Amino acid sequence: MTRCRLLAEEIRRKQRSAESLVESALAQARRHHAWNAYIFLDEQGALRQARERDRANRRDGALFGVPIAVKDNVHVAGMPNTAGTPALKSFLPTHDAAVVRRLRDAGAVLMGKTNLHELAFGISSANAAFGEVGNAFDMDCIAGGSSGGSAVAVALGMAHAAVGTDTGGSVRIPAALNGLVGFRPTVGRYPNDGMTLISTTRDTAGPMVRDVADARLVDAVMAGYPVSTATEIDPHQLRLGIPDTRFTDALEPSLARVFGAALTRLERAGVTLVNVETSEIDRLNNELGGVVLYETARLMPDYLKRAGFEGSMVDFTASIASADVRDIFGAIFSGTIDEAYYQHAMNTVRPALQQAYRDTLVGPQLDALIFPTVPMAARPLGEDRMSVLFDDQTVNAFGLYIRNTDPGSNAGIPGISVPAGIDARGMPVGVELDGAAGSDDHLLNVAECVERIFADD
């Protein structure tokens, strides 16, 4: 059984109380308060939910009594939804997002709302309004983003699973940097209502958990599917593609060694590794850089109005606390991304990118692509809170850490980050597996096989 499924089963059988599980998570949240994982921790509400579970006569639900945290850009009725920005600090949704409602219906205990990179526009979770999220392994290093609080809450035992959102890597990056599994489904697998969306084509919620089996469980609940067991894959029947260009070039040396060792373990177990050429994916992806900016410009004004913000977009931009995000929103509302660019991107470039992924996977009969989730494990930010030191060079943190996760996001395909080892500084390293659009269930099977090989080595 999975960690979460086992806990739910024990609570259903009264072998363990939901209240004790929640109390333990709350104790960890208090102990690690300095990590800033939560923006809003609903201590009394979580205990009340847990006691209701313990008193219930009907004790079904795949996540019965399991404490789960929710990123603070996904609506939970009665809890604030700040999206990590001051202008929304008083916004109190009255309805759950669909994915949250499904978690609640499955018996989960909702612990509170987790910290994030402001407005989900960044990869460090250095939030100037609600505090920077510290990495679970070293609080002086970045937690990853934008779902940094969700990752750290799970990694430090403040919840047993968490909901993140992923536009260009925001589930997979913090999962990799904190030693977790992070799953981004095919766009459209989960409903997107009740979220502070910044992109119609790229945004999706995603589970952040300790192992792939828990990812499968939470994914099924969030997707509204029956919970299924894994289909075990024989490693000798598994074919994984190793992409070139952006995915495996210019890796930090100690991370490269971990990735190389991971490939060796897979080969030793019988997995077939195939080198694949991905320059066309790289080229097409680079032509889609303005899509999110265009979509945010159309999504955000209406969302802010519904959330009760009465000022102009100029006022809203001025209220953003984090300098990097404020600069982005200044560019968004300067009107630099025009309709002709967007239509060309949607009608020509994005379909070509999706076809390039299909060709790359289907031609060599690959189950998935495999590559490092990020080019470097977690490191401290520079004094400007926007840069990191990479190979003795000061580089933009966003551009570095999103490099490998971005293309699959633009294509809308599923991806999952799985822990693969520890680098020379003692920080976690994740490998990502990307599959064909709609292959989510198979990709989870592949990831479980890879995870098992790593564990058995």
Number of structural domains the chain divides into: 2
Q: Would residue 307 count as lying in a domain?
A: no
**pLDDT over threshold 70, residue 294:** yes
pLDDT tens-digit profile of 76-119?
A: 999 999 999 999 999 999 999 999 999 999 999 999 999 999 99
CA distance 278 to 355: 12
User: Do both 22 and 157 map to the same domain?
Assistant: yes
Q: Would residue 310 count as lying in a domain?
A: no
User: Do both 157 and 208 map to the same domain?
Assistant: yes
For residue 430, the cross-strand partners are 419
For residue 202, the Cα-to-chain-centroid distance in whole angstroms is 12
User: Do both 41 and 117 map to the same domain?
Assistant: yes
Q: Would residue 387 count as lying in a domain?
A: yes
pLDDT tens-digit profile of 333-357?
A: 887 778 999 999 999 999 999 999 9
Q: Considering 170, 322, 409, 417, which one is annotated as catalytic? A: 170
Q: Would residue 364 count as lying in a domain?
A: yes
Q: Which of 223, 244, 269 is the last residue of a domain?
A: 223
Provide the domain limits for residue 164: 3-223
CA neighbor of 297 nearest in space, from 319, 322, 329, 327: 329
Q: Considering 71, 124, 150, 417, which one is annotated as catalytic? A: 71
**The residue type at 376:** M
C-alpha triplet 324, 42, 126: angle, nearest 5°: 15
User: Do both 113 and 185 map to the same domain?
Assistant: yes
User: Do both 278 and 165 map to the same domain?
Assistant: no
- 170 catalytic per annotation: yes
CATH value at residue 440: 3.90.1300.10
Pairing type for strands 109-114 and 38-41 reads: antiparallel
Q: Cβ–Cβ contacts within 10 Å for residue 131, how many?
A: 17
- 409 catalytic per annotation: no
Q: Considering 113, 124, 125, 146, which one is annotated as catalytic? A: 146
Q: Which of 193, 223, 253 is the last residue of a domain?
A: 223
E strand spans, 143-185: 161-166, 181-184
The residue with tokens 């910044």 is 198
CA neighbor of 171 nearest in space, from 111, 218, 137: 218
Q: Would residue 295 count as lying in a domain?
A: no
Q: Would residue 319 count as lying in a domain?
A: no
pLDDT for the residue numbered 134? 98
Q: Which of 223, 257, 278 is the last residue of a domain?
A: 223
**pLDDT over threshold 70, residue 1:** no
For residue 433, the cross-strand partners are 370, 416
- 24 catalytic per annotation: no
pTM reported for the whole predicted model: 0.97
Q: Cβ–Cβ contacts within 10 Å for residue 44, how many?
A: 8
User: Do both 280 and 140 map to the same domain?
Assistant: no
Structure tokens at 12: 């259903």
pLDDT band at 364 (very low <50, low <70, confident <90, very high): very high
